[in-house]
């Protein structure tokens, strides 16, 4: 592994971050070292690992204390800042060693009780200071705080090095690590993080005070030093030795499973898996908690998932306890998808997911009874799915969570292949895995993220770069949905994406082209796994006296204002039926559908047909759990009703622009955001189907009943 330390870069970094009297160069050096570690995915991933420094601090009233500055729980080392370190008084923490006195007859009970019930309270009580940043971000000290506190070294770095895990996660892991690293590293058997692990680590150091670090078996690697650079160098040197030992073993050949002649495409496989892994919130209600999918493939991944031993290897458990809270202890393995038999694949996936679900429930019940822990079962759905012939999927309640799980699964695949080449991969026991998965200190890492009403849902909005479409995209995004925005201009889409936030998928698409629409849905399924809500919003206000307009103009209007809605809905139905969990089709119709205006026939006629289309989709696909509803809006400032049109129409009626726009029963202008809220409402109303809602401030001539 390359040593990235650069003294000149360090000095520049320290100068940039130390501006206030309370800023400490010692902490800045630690942050620099931590970011170097965070660059290497094979060392730490997504909030994993922790680092610390011991120094003296003085508070605002002049009290001085020796403190431990340790990275807050769940903070990613790759972009950690000085403000992400929590300060704790060292004195009270160090006294905890006495709690673990070896001649204490109730030692085990006291350690376990403290680890599960009193740990976080003690840490918070001994915080040296609390900043606005800590409070706003709900930062809490790392669960490894006591490990850092019990060791006397100034700088301590802790990673979950895959090279270390490859060697330690073996039946003879301790011997392999000692053989590779020599006497410079002490060895600590696997112990759940907390007081017990901290005392064991301190005991190993006390027995061997010359060591440079510790191997935490089946967990990670710890190095320490008087300076941040010394601790960092020791980490890189140790990992390099481990990597060289793995390379010396070589990659053994793995027998592959027989595969279908043609593997199904990702865009056809993903919705099937996504639907099977959706959890019905209440039996018979047809309201599902969906997960987002993130697909990965590579030669390395295919070697893993195509192996005849993939079930044996993958079901042994996680590479390190830190991953369990995100990916669960085991992935789901499904059969290879045959392009010629998607129905057969769907049936096999449904069966495999049910087996996984039943096995997880049995695991929970058995381990809860054995442990006596009073906890509520998490959802039993997998967070990683391995697909022979194709690759793997990470699953999560958001696209970000799915990507994290896919990252972990990708690196795990390589590490397990390496471990099997060195010897035989071995993980911690199911009891130990359960203790980590259901430990509230670990769950707190991922539960800081707020999940909105539409978390896990994928919403597609056509014409989403402006007007009603943009307002609707924003409204769904604010409620946690993953957004897909379609429009003609990439420049407009880029601008809209900045306004929406949350990294939406933007796609240029001509919605009158079936080929463009199919390509868009394929892209959505590859990116997110499927789709749940469609807002078909595109339209063009084409005008003309109906007795004079050309066939060409009328056909053009029908292509945009009717057929585009049908094409979008038809493809949505295809994907939603693959998922098997229903869905929502929402159409931006128009008051013109029921209250036509003069010289507006080319626009009103296809809109009237679109209103009928809404009802037909509701009629034909309600049995699939797919709801179809529409909005009839009027006089909304958009690309259809331009400022020029507003001026001309208000002038023609002898009204001011304000009077024209507020020409309804409420005498209030209606905005794009009002229409957006109506779309959100219809998406949430799971018992509403074939409905048309008017959003026009009140227009008796346009009412439907």
3-state secondary structure 318-360: CCCHHHHHHHCCCCEECCCCECCCHHHHHHHHHHHHHHHHHHH
Instruction: Give CATH 3.40.50.720 domain extents, the chain.
Output: 458-637+671-702
Measured CA to CA, the distance from residue 333 to residue 238 in angstroms comes to 34
Residue 45: its H or E element = none
The pLDDT value given to residue 450: 63
pLDDT digits (tens, 9 = 90+) for 523-543: 999 999 999 999 999 999 898
The mean pLDDT of 500-518, rounded to a whole number, is 97
SS3 label, residue 279:
strand
Measured CA to CA, the distance from residue 115 to residue 143 in angstroms comes to 10
Half-sphere exposure of 337 (CA within 13 A, CB side): 24
Q: What confidence category does residue 5 fall into, taking pLDDT thresholds of 50, 70 and 90?
A: very high
Q: CB count, 10 Å around CB of 609?
A: 18
Half-sphere exposure of 559 (CA within 13 A, CB side): 11
| Helix then strand then coil, % of the chain, to nearest 5 | 50, 15, 35
Asked if the model's pLDDT at residue 457 lies above 60, the reply is yes
**What's the mean pLDDT when you consider all of the chain?**
92
For the beta sheet containing 332-333, the strands, ordered from the edge strand earlier in sequence to the opposite edge, are 292-296, 391-396, 384-387, 332-333
The pLDDT value given to residue 598: 86
pLDDT digits (tens, 9 = 90+) for 95-150: 777 665 555 555 666 666 665 567 777 777 787 776 777 777 778 888 899 999 99
The fourth-level CATH superfamily of domain 7-249 is Class II aldolase/adducin N-terminal domain (3.40.225.10)
Q: Which CATH architecture has domain 458-637+671-702?
A: 3-Layer(aba) Sandwich (3.40)
C-alpha to C-alpha distances, 488 to 196, 477, 589, nearest whole angstrom: 60, 21, 20
The pLDDT value given to residue 369: 94
The pLDDT value given to residue 268: 98
The pLDDT value given to residue 18: 64
pLDDT digits (tens, 9 = 90+) for 351-364: 999 999 999 999 99
The mean pLDDT of 449-471, rounded to a whole number, is 92
Closest among 448, 456, 348, 460 to 396, alpha carbons compared: 456
Q: What confidence category does residue 47 fall into, taking pLDDT thresholds of 50, 70 and 90?
A: confident
C-alpha to C-alpha distances, 691 to 278, 627, 629, nearest whole angstrom: 26, 9, 5
Instruction: Give CATH 3.40.225.10 domain extents, the chain.
Output: 7-249
What's the pTM?
A: 0.93
The pLDDT value given to residue 447: 62
Q: Which residues contact 342 (CB under 8 A, 6 or more apart)?
A: 264, 268, 272, 578
Q: What confidence category does residue 445 fall into, taking pLDDT thresholds of 50, 70 and 90?
A: low
pLDDT digits (tens, 9 = 90+) for 390-407: 999 999 999 999 999 999
The mean pLDDT of 199-215, rounded to a whole number, is 96
Q: Is 3.40.225 the CATH number for 266-447?
A: yes
Would you state the structure tokens that stand for residue 279, as one six-digit string? 């959890």
C-alpha to C-alpha distances, 692 to 130, 309, 594, 640, nearest whole angstrom: 53, 55, 11, 20
Q: Which residues contact 695 (CB under 8 A, 6 or more apart)?
A: 631, 632, 633, 634, 670, 674, 675, 678
The pLDDT value given to residue 289: 94
Q: What confidence category does residue 73 fall into, taking pLDDT thresholds of 50, 70 and 90?
A: confident
Asked if the model's pLDDT at residue 449 lies above 80, the reply is no
Phi, psi at residue 629, to the nearest 5°? -140, 165
Percent of the chain with pLDDT over 90: 74
Asked if the model's pLDDT at residue 692 lies above 70, the reply is yes
Q: What confidence category does residue 373 fall into, taking pLDDT thresholds of 50, 70 and 90?
A: confident
pLDDT digits (tens, 9 = 90+) for 603-629: 999 999 999 999 999 999 999 999 999
The mean pLDDT of 293-310, rounded to a whole number, is 98
- Angle subtended by helix axes 228-249 and 399-422, to nearest 10: 60
The pLDDT value given to residue 285: 81
Higher pLDDT, 371 or 184: 184
The pLDDT value given to residue 451: 74
Would you state the structure tokens that stand for residue 343, as one six-digit string? 């129905």
Looking up tokens 């006294």 gives: 95
pLDDT digits (tens, 9 = 90+) for 550-588: 999 999 999 999 999 999 999 999 999 999 999 999 999
The mean pLDDT of 219-246, rounded to a whole number, is 98
Cα-Cα-Cα-Cα torsion 614, 620, 622, 626, nearest 10 degrees, comes to -60
């Amino acid at each position: 592994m390359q040593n990235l330390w650069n003294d000149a870069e360090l000095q520049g970094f320290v100068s940039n971050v130390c501006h206030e009297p309370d800023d400490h160069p010692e902490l800045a050096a630690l942050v620099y070292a931590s970011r170097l570690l965070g660059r290497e995915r094979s060392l730490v991933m997504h909030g994993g690992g922790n680092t610390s420094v011991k120094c003296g601090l003085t508070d605002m009233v002049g009290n001085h204390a020796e403190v431990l500055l340790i990275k807050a729980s769940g903070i990613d080392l790759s972009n950690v800042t000085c403000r992400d370190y929590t300060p704790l008084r060292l004195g009270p923490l160090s006294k905890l060693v006495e709690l673990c006195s070896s001649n204490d007859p109730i030692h085990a009970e006291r350690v376990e009780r403290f680890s599960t019930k009193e740990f976080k309270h003690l840490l918070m009580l001994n915080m040296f200071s609390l900043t606005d940043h800590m409070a706003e971000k709900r930062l809490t000290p790392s669960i490894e705080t006591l490990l850092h506190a019990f060791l006397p070294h100034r700088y301590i770095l802790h990673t979950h090095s895959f090279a270390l895990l490859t060697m330690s996660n073996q039946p003879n892991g301790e011997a392999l690590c000692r053989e590779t690293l020599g006497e410079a590293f002490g060895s600590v058997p696997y112990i759940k993080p907390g007081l017990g692990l901290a005392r064991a680590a301190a005991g190993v150091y006390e027995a061997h005070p010359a060591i440079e670090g510790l191997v935490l078996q089946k967990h990670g690697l710890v190095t320490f030093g008087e300076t941040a650079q010394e601790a960092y160098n020791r980490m890189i040197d140790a990992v390099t030795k481990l990597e060289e030992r793995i390379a010396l073993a070589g990659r053994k050949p793995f027998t592959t499973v027989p595969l279908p002649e043609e593997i199904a495409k990702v865009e056809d496989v993903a919705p099937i898996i996504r639907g099977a892994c959706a959890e019905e919130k209440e039996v018979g209600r047809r309201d599902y908690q969906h997960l987002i999918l993130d697909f990965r493939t590579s030669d390395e991944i295919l070697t893993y998932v195509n192996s005849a031993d993939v079930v044996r290897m993958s079901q042994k458990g996680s590479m390190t306890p830190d991953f369990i809270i995100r990916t669960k202890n085991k992935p789901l393995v499904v059969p290879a998808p045959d392009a010629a038999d998607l129905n057969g694949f769907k049936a096999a996936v449904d069966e495999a997911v049910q087996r996984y679900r039943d096995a997880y429930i049995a695991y929970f019940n058995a381990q809860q009874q054995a442990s006596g822990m009073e906890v509520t079962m998490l959802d039993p759905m997998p967070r990683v799915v391995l697909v022979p012939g194709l690759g793997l999927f990470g699953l999560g309640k958001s696209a970000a969570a799915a990507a994290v799980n896919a990252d972990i699964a990708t690196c795990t695949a390589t590490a397990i292949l390496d471990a099997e080449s060195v010897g035989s991969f071995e993980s911690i026991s199911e009891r130990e895995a359960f203790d980590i998965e259901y430990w509230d200190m670990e769950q707190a890492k991922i539960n800081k993220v707020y999940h909105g009403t539409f978390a896990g849902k994928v919403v597609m909005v056509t014409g989403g770069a402006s007007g009603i479409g943009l307002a609707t995209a924003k409204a769904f995004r604010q409620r946690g949905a993953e957004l897909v925005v379609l429009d003609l201009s990439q420049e407009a889409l880029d601008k809209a994406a900045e306004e929406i936030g949350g990294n939406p998928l933007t796609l240029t698409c001509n919605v009158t082209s079936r080929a463009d629409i199919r390509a868009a849905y394929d892209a959505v399924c590859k990116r997110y796994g499927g789709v749940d809500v469609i807002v078909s919003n595109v339209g063009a206000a084409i005008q003309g006296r109906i007795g004079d307009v050309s066939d060409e103009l009328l056909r053009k209007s029908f292509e945009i204002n009717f057929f585009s809605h049908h094409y979008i809905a038809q493809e949505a139905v295809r994907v939603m039926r693959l998922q098997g969990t229903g869905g929502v089709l929402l159409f931006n119709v128009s008051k013109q559908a029921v209250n036509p205006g003069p010289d507006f026939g080319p626009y009103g006629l296809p809109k009237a047909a679109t209103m009928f289309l809404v009802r037909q989709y509701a009629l034909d696909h309600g049995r699939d759990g797919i709801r179809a509803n529409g909005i009839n809006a009027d006089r909304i400032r958009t690309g259809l009703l331009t400022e020029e049109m507003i001026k001309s129409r208000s002038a023609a009626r002898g009204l001011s622009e304000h009077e024209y726009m507020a020409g309804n029963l409420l005498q209030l202008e209606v905005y794009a955001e009002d229409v957006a809220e109506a779309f959100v409402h219809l998406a949430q109303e799971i018992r509403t189907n074939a409905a048309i809602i008017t959003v026009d401030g009140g227009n008796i001539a346009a009412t439907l009943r």
